[in-house]
């Protein structure tokens, strides 16, 4: 295991290539250390307390679980102590947190979902952490407005999947690399390079219980998949739904696939289900860097100009040819 490159070594080399400074490397390292702590908590399960307990509601009026709150606290503490970010924004907090400037701070923002897929906690299912790194320009003070940058501006994006093993998939805009965490010491070692997602797939992930709320193009696409060999696609499709975006998108990346959380009648007033800055954008950058595609159905997710920290968007991402097909169905409709 130890002749593999570590995450820190990889980041030092990569940051050098693209002109990012030591704070950037330190920031990714802090995220990895925080994720090791979260992973340890997840592995202890009920021995670490009732991690699935409802402990309140967040700014989006969604129930917060004990693990959501603890994962958020772990990240904040690590990032504050590290000093490599100017400010952060999290799913669990209404506004940005600007760290006290009594010491020098790196010129970066970290935007994250500390614990994705929190309904899986109670059933011992996979959960994850999603993050995105943006540049804090000179003169920036850490206001929310400064963080509202389109996904194309991301310097890095990644996720950590707490599954049967703990893995980080990360991109700095030069391909997608995979690192596996050694549970003994929390260090991440490279276990995959330049991950690519197949163009074609016969597997899709969507919450099918929402079918009656979907728009016609999504209904058409899924109905055609379900019709299998006898339908217009002439092929049998497989379906999976873990209920944690990190796990569902990771499966698409690993085995090919398309992941959909489209706009529907239930979520229309909010703009969609998934959040743009810390769910859709980082996952879109990873998918695109792996050769896949990420769209709302009407346009590229990464080009959306955010209007709020917790803005939601429809998400259709994964194997390119399938996403293109869904986009075509939207155009035709």
Strands 87-90 and 108-116: parallel
Which residue in 66, 92, 116, 167 binds ligand FBP (CB under 6 A)? 116
Under rule CB under 6 A, residue 198 binds ligand FBP: no
Distance CA 196, CA 263 (A): 27
Under rule CB under 6 A, residue 207 binds ligand FBP: yes
- Residues within window 43-62 making contact with ligand FBP, judged by CB under 6 A: 62
Distance CA 218, CA 264 (A): 9
Dihedrals phi, psi of 132, to nearest 5 degrees: -145, 140
Which residue in 72, 118, 171, 284 binds ligand FBP (CB under 6 A)? 118
Which residue in 261, 264, 277, 282 binds ligand FBP (CB under 6 A)? 261
Stretch in the footprint of ligand FBP (CB under 6 A) among 42-50, 94-102, 114-122, 193-201: 114-122
Given the complex with ligand FBP, which of 243 and 291 has the nearer CB atom?
A: 243
Give the list of residues 6+ apart from residue 193 with CB closer than 8 angstroms, or none: 175, 177, 178
- Residues within window 271-300 making contact with ligand FBP, judged by CB under 6 A: none
Distance CA 152, CA 304 (A): 9
Stretch in the footprint of ligand FBP (CB under 6 A) among 36-44, 77-85, 116-124, 186-194: 116-124
The least distance separating ligand FBP from the CB of residue 245, rounded to whole angstroms, comes to: 3
Distance CA 223, CA 206 (A): 12
Stretch in the footprint of ligand FBP (CB under 6 A) among 9-17, 37-45, 82-90, 243-251: 243-251
Given the complex with ligand FBP, which of 225 and 247 has the nearer CB atom?
A: 247
Strands 203-205 and 188-192: unpaired
Stretch in the footprint of ligand FBP (CB under 6 A) among 17-25, 112-120, 156-164, 196-204: 112-120
- Residues within window 122-181 making contact with ligand FBP, judged by CB under 6 A: none
The least distance separating ligand FBP from the CB of residue 127, rounded to whole angstroms, comes to: 8
Distance CA 242, CA 300 (A): 25
The least distance separating ligand FBP from the CB of residue 248, rounded to whole angstroms, comes to: 6
Under rule CB under 6 A, residue 243 binds ligand FBP: yes
The least distance separating ligand FBP from the CB of residue 138, rounded to whole angstroms, comes to: 33
Which residue in 26, 82, 106, 117 binds ligand FBP (CB under 6 A)? 117
Distance CA 167, CA 147 (A): 27
Given the complex with ligand FBP, which of 135 and 255 has the nearer CB atom?
A: 255
Stretch in the footprint of ligand FBP (CB under 6 A) among 32-40, 166-174, 241-249, 303-311: 241-249
Stretch in the footprint of ligand FBP (CB under 6 A) among 144-152, 225-233, 238-246, 290-298: 238-246
Give the list of residues 6+ apart from residue 231 with CB closer than 8 angstroms, or none: 223, 224, 225
Per-residue binder mask for ligand FBP (CB under 6 A), 72-101, x = binder? -------------------x----------
Footprint of ligand FBP on this chain (CB under 6 A)?
Answer: 62, 91, 113, 116-118, 207, 243-245, 248, 261
């Amino acid at each position: 295991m130890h002749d593999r490159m570590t995450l820190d070594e990889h980041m030092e080399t990569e940051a050098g290539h693209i002109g990012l400074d030591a704070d950037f490397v330190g920031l990714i390292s802090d995220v990895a250390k925080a994720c090791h702590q979260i992973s340890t908590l997840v592995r202890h399960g009920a021995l670490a307390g009732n991690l699935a307990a409802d402990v309140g509601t967040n700014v989006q009026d969604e129930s917060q679980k004990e693990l959501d709150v603890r994962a958020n606290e772990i990240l904040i503490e690590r990032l504050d102590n590290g000093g490599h970010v100017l400010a952060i924004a999290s799913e669990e907090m209404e506004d940005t947190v600007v760290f006290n400037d009594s010491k020098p701070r790196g010129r970066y923002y970290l935007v994250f979902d500390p614990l994705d897929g929190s309904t899986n906690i109670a059933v011992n299912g996979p959960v994850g952490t999603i993050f995105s790194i943006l540049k804090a320009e000179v003169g920036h003070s850490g206001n929310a407005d400064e963080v509202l940058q389109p996904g194309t501006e991301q310097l890095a994006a990644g996720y950590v999947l707490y599954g049967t093993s703990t893995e980080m998939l990360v991109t700095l805009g030069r391909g997608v690399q995979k690192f596996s965490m050694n549970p003994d010491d929390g260090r991440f070692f490279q276990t995959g390079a330049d991950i690519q997602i197949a163009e074609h797939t016969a597997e899709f992930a969507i919450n099918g219980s929402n079918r009656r709320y979907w728009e016609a193009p999504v209904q058409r696409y899924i109905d055609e998949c379900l019709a299998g060999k006898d339908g217009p696609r002439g092929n049998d499709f497989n379906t999976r739904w873990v209920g944690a975006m990190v796990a569902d998108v990771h499966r698409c990346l690993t085995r090919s696939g398309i992941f959909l959380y489209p706009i529907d009648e239930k979520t229309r007033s909010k703009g969609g289900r998934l959040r743009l800055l810390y769910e859709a954008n980082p996952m879109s950058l990873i998918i695109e860097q792996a050769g896949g595609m990420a769209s709302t159905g009407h346009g590229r997710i990464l080009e959306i100009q955010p209007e709020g920290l917790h803005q939601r968007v429809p998400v259709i991402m994964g194997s390119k040819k399938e996403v293109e097909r869904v986009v075509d169905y939207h155009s035709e409709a």
